[in-house]
Amino acid sequence: MTAKKTATPVTLVYTGGSDGVVLHLPTHVVEFLHGVPTEVCAEDAKALEDHPDIHPAKKDTKEVSE
């Protein structure tokens, strides 16, 4: 039996007009605070690809895990 491989988590940042948002994504419920990098699983990141206020975080930022 082989171990199930999990995709690498993705770090995203919310940049919308509110202080933060709570999103019910395909696999998790995630709270994004404005400007705070937040780590999500690959499946949830894919669901957010076209979201106008969620963007990939810069590599040099500190992360908050889901």
Q: What is the pLDDT at residue 64?
A: 60
- Distance, C-alpha 19 to centroid of its chain: 16
Number of domains within the chain: 1
Q: Is residue 39 part of a domain?
A: yes
Q: Is residue 23 part of a domain?
A: yes
**pLDDT tens per residue across span 8-52:** 999 999 999 999 999 999 999 999 999 999 999 999 999 999 999
Domain of 33, in residue numbers: 10-65
Q: Is residue 1 part of a domain?
A: no
Q: Is residue 5 part of a domain?
A: no
Token couple for 32: 């994004």
Q: What is the pLDDT at residue 40?
A: 97
Q: Above 70 in pLDDT, residue 2? A: no
Q: Is residue 2 part of a domain?
A: no
